[in-house]
C-alpha cells in the first residue's frame, strides 16, 4: 500500500510505517479483511516462513540492527484503505505527526460484491457489476504524536477529515507562507486537487543536530 519514514520516537533514528487495508470499525473489517485473514496460511511448525498479518506495521529502529513492530501499541494498526501515510510535524511541537489518505475507486474486497461478480453470466457482466457499485470513499486521518508512542486522532480538529478517494501519490507537505502555515496538497480521484491548510504553527522554526543523522534527513 503506502509507507513513509519518520523519527517517531525522537531518538534520532528513522522508523518505518507500512500501511494496509485494515478497517477502523468492526463492520468494515468483517465486510472485507476478516475473510482474507481466515484464508491466510499458517506456517508449519519449524518453518522459517513469517506469518502475515493484514494490519499496518510500525517498525521502530532500535539502533541494534533490529526493529520493533509497534503499530498496535501506538494505536496505528488500522487506518482503513490507506495509500499515502506522511510523517510531518504539523503542529511544530518537535514530534512528527501522521497524516494518511485513503479510499478506493470501488470496494473490490467487499465479499458481497465479490459474490455478485462471481454469479454474473460472463466476465464482462461481472466487471459491470463492479463498475455499478458505489465509490468507496473514506475519511482521511490525522494523528498527533503525544510522545511515548501515544497518538491522538485530530483529523477533525485539524481540518484533515475530508472524505474521498485519494491514492496520495502526489501527497506532500510544505510551508507556503511566511507564517509557517503547513499546506498539504491532496490528489483525489474524480475530483479536483485539494489543498488542506493547517493553523499557524505556535512555535518558531528550530534547528537541531542529530548525531546519528549527518545528511540532512529529519532537519527542522
Give the model's pLDDT for residue 183. Answer: 55
Compare 52 and 162 and report the one with higher pLDDT: 162
Going through the chain in order, the beta strands assigned E by DSSP cover 3-6, 15-18, 57-61, 67-69, 82-88, 97-102, 138-139, 141-147, 150-153, 163-164, 174-175, 181-186, 194-200
Rg of the chain over all Cα atoms, to the nearest angstrom:
20
pLDDT over 90 (residue 144): yes
Q: Reduce the DSSP state of residue 52 to 3 states and report it.
A: coil
**Mean pLDDT (whole number) for 144-161:** 94
**Which pTM does this prediction carry?**
0.73
CA angle 140, 74, 175 (to 5 degrees): 50
Cβ atoms of 33 and 22 within 8 Å: the answer is: yes
pLDDT, tens digit, for every residue of 24-68? 888 887 777 767 777 777 777 888 877 777 899 999 999 999 999
Most confident by average pLDDT, 147-156, 171-180, 204-213: 147-156
Round to whole Å and give the CA distance between 34 and 112: 13
Lowest mean pLDDT among 8-22, 117-131, 163-177, 200-214: 200-214
Q: What is the mean pLDDT of the chain?
A: 78
**Mean pLDDT (whole number) for 91-98:** 93
Give the model's pLDDT for residue 196. Answer: 46
**Mean pLDDT (whole number) for 69-86:** 93
Burial 161-192 (b: 16+ CB within 10 A, else e): ebebbbbbeebebeeeeeeeebebebbbeeee
**178: confidence class by pLDDT, cuts 50, 70, 90:** very low
pLDDT, tens digit, for every residue of 108-136? 878 788 888 888 889 888 888 888 888 88
Q: Which of 98, 144, 101, 103 is nearest to 5 (CA)?
A: 98
Share of the chain above pLDDT 70, in %: 75
Give the model's pLDDT for residue 201. Answer: 41
Measured in residues, the chain has a length of: 220
pLDDT over 60 (residue 145): yes
C-alpha distances in Å from residue 116, one per residue of 136, 159, 164: 17, 37, 25
Amino acid at each position: 500500500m503506502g509507507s513513509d519514514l519518520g523519527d517517531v520516537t525522537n531518538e534520532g533514528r528513522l522508523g518505518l510505517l507500512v500501511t494496509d487495508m485494515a478497517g477502523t470499525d468492526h463492520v468494515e473489517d468483517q465486510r472485507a479483511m476478516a475473510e482474507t485473514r481466515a484464508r491466510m496460511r499458517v506456517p508449519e511448525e519449524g518453518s522459517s516462513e513469517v506469518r502475515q498479518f493484514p494490519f499496518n506495521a510500525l517498525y521502530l529502529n532500535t539502533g541494534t540492527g533490529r526493529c520493533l513492530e509497534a503499530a498496535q501499541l501506538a494505536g496505528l494498526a488500522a487506518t482503513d484503505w490507506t495509500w499515502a501515510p506522511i510523517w510531518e510535524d504539523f503542529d511544530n511541537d518537535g514530534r512528527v505527526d501522521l497524516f494518511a489518505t485513503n479510499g478506493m475507486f470501488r470496494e473490490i474486497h467487499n465479499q458481497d460484491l465479490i459474490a455478485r461478480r462471481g454469479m454474473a453470466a460472463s466476465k464482462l457482466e461481472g466487471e459491470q457489476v463492479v463498475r455499478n457499485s458505489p465509490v468507496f470513499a473514506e475519511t482521511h486521518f490525522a494523528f498527533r504524536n503525544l510522545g511515548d508512542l501515544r497518538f491522538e486522532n485530530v483529523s477533525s480538529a485539524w481540518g484533515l477529515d475530508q472524505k474521498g478517494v485519494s491514492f496520495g501519490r502526489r501527497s506532500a507537505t510544505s510551508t507556503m507562507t511566511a507564517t509557517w502555515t503547513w499546506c498539504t496538497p491532496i490528489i483525489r480521484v474524480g475530483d479536483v486537487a485539494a489543498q488542506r491548510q493547517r493553523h499557524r504553527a505556535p512555535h518558531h522554526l528550530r534547528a537541531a543536530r542529530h548525531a546519528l543523522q549527518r545528511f540532512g534527513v529529519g532537519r527542522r
